[in-house]
Amino acid sequence: LRLGVMASGEGSNFEALVNAARAGGLAAEMALLVVNNRGCGAQVRAERLGVPCRLLDHREQPSREALDRALIEAFRQAAVDLVVMAGWMRIVTPTLIQAFPDRLVNIHPSLLPSFRGMDAVGQALAAGVKLSGCTVHLVSEAVDAGRILVQAAVPVLPGDSHAQLAARIRRQEHRILPLGVRLAARDLDRALGVEGQ
Ligand code: GRF
């Protein structure tokens, strides 16, 4: 199974996926990373890890749909079967979601359905919750909705700063994203009727 990843920032989730795939934890290979910010951490990590990386700068695309069409073309050329949004900071359009039905996976830093959208960590702190966490889910047309694949919970400790809670969640993200991708890939194989490919 060939994986494509989309990232906009540091890329620590991308690297966790590469490590899981190379350790044999995923019956999948990392085919292509696409970033939208030149020189972002994910791009630097891809170069260090030897993963092909394409820059599709959203600032150079006339619309969200145009960016998504460019993403689809890049992943088609790399024969990607499953796409993972690992810190992709742009809203994707139905164009992309429909091109990858049940084949687009996202990681979100809260226990969905709580705290959808931007700054889920800040939302959790503001709400004063005692537990937060992260969610791996299939992407559907509503933002941060779609079938939940895996979740992990972390305590929110008294006096937690945004950075401290984000880091505690991030450690769990690196653990559950590979699990979620494995589940999505297994469901894909079952749907395609090719067990244990
Ligand atoms: C993660 O917190 C993820 O949940 C959110 O964006 C962040 C990406 O972090 N979608 P990184 O770029 O993978 O380090």
What pLDDT is stored for residue 197 in this prediction? Answer: 46
- 31 C-alpha vs ligand 1 centroid, how far in Å? 20
**Rounded to the nearest 5°, which phi and psi values hold at 105?**
-115, 140
What pLDDT is stored for residue 8 in this prediction? Answer: 98
Distance CA(27)–CA(42), nearest Å, equals 22
Peptide bond into 178 cis (omega under 30): no
- 107 C-alpha vs ligand 1 centroid, how far in Å? 7
The CA-based angle 36-38-43, given to 5 degrees, is 85
Model pLDDT for residues 136-153, shown as the tens digit of each residue: 999 998 877 899 999 999
Band (5; pLDDT cuts 50, 70, 90): very high
Residue of 90, 173, 177 to mutate, ligand 1, most atoms within 8 A of C-beta: 173
Residue of 40, 107, 111, 139 to mutate, ligand 1, most atoms within 8 A of C-beta: 107
What pLDDT is stored for residue 50 in this prediction? Answer: 98
Q: What is the mean pLDDT of the chain?
A: 95
